[in-house]
Amino acid sequence: MMFGRHTRGVALLIVLWGCTLLAIMLGGFAALARTEGLQARYQFAQTRAHYAAEAGVMRAIAALQAPDASSRWIADGRVYVFAFDDAKVDITIVDEDGKVDLNAASGDVLTGLFKAAGVQDDRAGRLSSAIQDWRRPGDAASPNGAKKPQYEAAGLAYGPRNGPFASVEEARMVLGMDAATWATVAPALTIWSGRERPNTEHAQPLALAAIPGLGGAGAEAVLATRAQGGGGAMAGGNGVTHTIRAEAILDDGTRSSLTSTIRLRGIRSGNQPYAVLRWREGDTE
C-alpha cells in the first residue's frame, strides 16, 4: 500500500514537472514568435523608408531637369519636402561646383578653406601645400609641403599619391589632417567640379569663405543676397554634378537616409539622364 502511494506521488511529480517544462517551452515559443514579429515589422518599415528615400533622390533628379527653368529645384542646400506614400522625405541638393575641388583648387583657396574652418594660419598653409603635393607628380616637396620623406618622418607607412585624388575621403590621409579638421571641411570638398574656386551661386558658407577676397563677411553678404533672390532667378543656373541627400520619415518615426552624387546627362531619347558617381546609405562616412 505504501509502495502504491509512493508510485502515485512520483508519477504526479513527473506530470507536474512535465507541465512546467511545457509551459516554459510554450512561453519561449511565444516570446520568440513575438520577437520575430517585431523584427519583421521593423524590417518592413525600414524597407519602406529606404524606398521612400530612393524616391526622394529620383524626385530631385527630375526636378533638377524640369523643362520649365522657374520650377527647377536649386542646388544650394535648401530643403525641399516631398511626400511619398506615407513618408515625409526631406531633400537637399548641393551643386558640386560650389565646393572646393581637391584636384583643381588653387593654393589660396585651399588655405582659405582651412582658415575658414578655424585652423591657424601656419598650419592652414601647410595643409594646403600638403594637398597640392599629394596631387602633384614628382618626389620633390614644395615649401611647407609633404612628399614621401615627410610621411616617413611622421611614422606613416604610406606617401602621397603623386596624382589626382581618387575620392574626397582620401584627403583624410594627407599629412597634418586631423579628425576634427576633416569633419569640418569634408562637406565643402569635392573631386568633381574641376574649378579653381567654388561657384558663388551655389557654394555653402564654408566654401564661400574660402574664396580669396571674400572671407566670412563677404560670404554672409552673398548668402543674404541669395536668400532675397528667391528660387526662380537662379533655378536655371545649376551645374551638372550634384550631391543629393534624401531622408525619409514614416508616421511611426522610422527613418532612412541616402546620399548620392550624380552627374546629369540631359534628357535625350535613349540616353540615361544621369550617372551615379557615389552612393551611400545612412549617415556614416
**Domain presence at residue 192:** no
- The pLDDT tens digits of the residues spanning 105-135 come to 999 999 999 999 999 999 999 999 999 999 9
Same domain (yes/no): 33, 75: yes
Same domain (yes/no): 44, 112: no
- Mean of the per-residue pLDDT values for the chain? 86
Sign of CA dihedral 117, 168, 197, 245: negative
End-of-domain residue from the set 164, 187, 210 = 187
Same domain (yes/no): 69, 130: no
Q: Which of 134, 131, 185 is nearest to 159 (CA)?
A: 134
Same domain (yes/no): 115, 93: no
One-letter amino acid of 40: A
Residue for cell digits 506615407? Answer: 86
pLDDT of residue 267: 62
Query: Which residues, listed in sequence order, are joined to residue 241 by a DSSP beta bridge?
Result: 263
- The pLDDT tens digits of the residues spanning 231-254 come to 444 444 678 899 999 999 999 889
For the chain, how many residues are written? 285
Same domain (yes/no): 70, 107: no
Same domain (yes/no): 90, 218: yes
- The pLDDT tens digits of the residues spanning 156-169 come to 999 999 999 999 99
pLDDT of residue 235: 47
Q: What is the mean pLDDT of residues 169-181?
A: 97
Instruction: State percent of the chain over pLDDT 70.
Output: 86
Q: What is the mean pLDDT of residues 175-179?
A: 96
